A and B are shown apart, each in its own frame.
Chain A
Amino acid sequence: MKKSILVGVSLLVAALVSTPVVVMAADTDAVSSANSFNRLLQKPAEKNLPPAEDGIHDAENDNTYVLQPPKIAFDSLVRSDFGNYVDWIKSLREQKISPRNERMGGGEEPMIMDLDIVREVRGSMPDVIFPHKGHTEWLQCSNCHPDIFIPQQGANRMNMAGILLGQKCGVCHGKVSFPVVTTTCRLCHSQAKPEGWAPSKSSASVDNPWQ
């Protein structure tokens, strides 16, 4: 047993030592890797990997292999293109899942409030419609009010830089509820600017003496 592990390791070392030579030979003819596309972007190669392969769970831990692989759980749910690749709102509304509203099940039905809040956006992005409906299907009022959002018009200043760093909507969005990425902008920024709206010009350009 020990001997075979030893030989196994030496075979691996031999394989690892020999591969870079081949790669380097090929690289000398190629374009410098310093100028590759998507230099800073690391895309996951595969979606919804089982725990033992996800880079967070310890593959040395026997219990890791007993945990449910996400792919099996997500198979019957409505899928999306981001986050867990599950559309949680649709999965709930189409009753693909039936999450409990109380720890032991039963109890009161969630109090769903169908009220949209429109937030005008200063820049050129479409205005934001915040739907209470989707939120109250999962949460109760005290989860957000009054600690995160003061329930009063005009009382909650926010911007995307803060949201990206975990403030306001960013307390959940960008962590557990849908992520803040290019493909999700229009999920919130969903109301077109009023007709005739034009972005204000920067004074640095308006006052530009060379123009």
Chain B
Amino acid sequence: MKIKGLVKSMRYALIGGVLALLLPFSASHAEYGDVVINNYADAAGMRPVVFPHWYHRIRFRCKVCHADLGFAFKAGGNDITMEKIIDGQFCGACHNGEVAWSIENCGMCHSGIPNTPTQIHGSTVQRLVAPSYKSMNAK
């Protein structure tokens, strides 16, 4: 094996090492409000969708999607399918090559790590050290 090969190997080792170091902390780095939607994606052999709220709220007020387009305030609660999107519903109202990239760019939305469950990243519920608190007045 030549020196060139050895350098290449060391590069792979370095990349692997960096990834291994990042792994234990990986869950806590995404943007606040990033929504992972994995109702059907994994089961259909696609990566789950990552929806970045921050990117969209720079460009649109909340009411555009949450009133005009009818998105409910619930991660995974909108039953979005590709068929509805090509018919101009939900994401398809803009992601049609007019306002934003058209749907042949599958991997731009379907960009999540496989098997990531539906969630809102960084939400308060995720940050609670125990899952819930019951008030003494709770019935």
Q: Which residues of A contact B127 (CB under 8 A)?
A: 179, 181
Q: Which among B12, B55, B75 has the highest number of chain A CB atoms within 10 Å?
A: B12
Partner of B107, one of A41, A61, A102: A61
Q: Which residues of B contact A171 (CB under 8 A)?
A: 73
CA of A53 to CA of B23, assembled, Å: 10
Mask, B99-127, CB within 8 Å of A = 1, is 10000011110111110100011111101
Main secondary structure of the interface of A (DSSP, over half): loop
Is A100 touching B59 in the complex (CB atoms < 8 A)? yes
Is B55 touching A73 in the complex (CB atoms < 8 A)? yes
Q: Decide yes or no whether A104 CB sits under 8 A from chain B.
A: yes
Mask, A52-67, CB within 8 Å of B = 1, is 0111111101111011
Mask, B17-47, CB within 8 Å of A = 1, is 1011010011111111110100000000001
Q: Decide yes or no whether B8 CB sits under 8 A from chain A.
A: yes
CA of A56 to CA of B114, assembled, Å: 9
Nearest CB in chain B to that of A100: its residue:
B60
Is A7 touching B63 in the complex (CB atoms < 8 A)? no
Is B10 touching A67 in the complex (CB atoms < 8 A)? no
Is A166 touching B54 in the complex (CB atoms < 8 A)? no
Q: Which among B63, B67, B127 has the highest number of chain A CB atoms within 10 Å?
A: B63
Q: Decide yes or no whether A161 CB sits under 8 A from chain B.
A: yes
Known: A67-B111, A139-B62, A164-B128. A175 touches B47 (CB 8 A): no
Measured between C-beta atoms, what is the minimum distance from A30 to chain B in Å? 19
Is B58 touching A73 in the complex (CB atoms < 8 A)? yes
Nearest CB in chain A to that of B25: its residue:
A45
Query: Could you tell me which residues of chain A, from 7 to 36, have a CB within 8 Å of some CB in chain B?
Result: 7-9, 11-12, 15-16
Known: A55-B29, A64-B111, A99-B61. A11 touches B68 (CB 8 A): no
Partner of B30, one of A16, A55, A82, A181: A55
Is B108 touching A83 in the complex (CB atoms < 8 A)? no
User: Given contacts A9-B12, A103-B93, A179-B122, could you give 13 more A-B pairs where the C-beta distance is less than 8 Å?
Assistant: A15-B13, A42-B25, A49-B29, A54-B29, A55-B25, A55-B30, A66-B108, A77-B58, A99-B60, A138-B62, A139-B67, A161-B133, A164-B125
Task: Name A's B-contacting residues (CB within 8 A).
Answer: 1, 3-9, 11-12, 15-16, 40-46, 48-49, 51, 53-59, 61-64, 66-68, 70, 73-74, 77, 82-84, 86, 88, 97, 99-104, 110, 137-140, 142-143, 159, 161, 164-166, 170-172, 174-176, 179-181
Task: Name B's A-contacting residues (CB within 8 A).
Answer: 1, 5-6, 8-13, 16-17, 19-20, 22, 25-34, 36, 47, 50, 52-55, 57-64, 66-69, 73, 75, 93-94, 99, 105-108, 110-114, 116, 120-125, 127-129, 132-135, 138
Q: Provide 20 A-B residue pairs closer than 8 Å at the C-beta atoms, listed in order of the A residue.
A: A5-B9, A8-B13, A12-B20, A15-B17, A16-B17, A42-B25, A44-B25, A44-B28, A49-B30, A53-B22, A54-B29, A58-B111, A70-B55, A83-B33, A84-B33, A101-B61, A137-B61, A164-B133, A171-B73, A176-B57
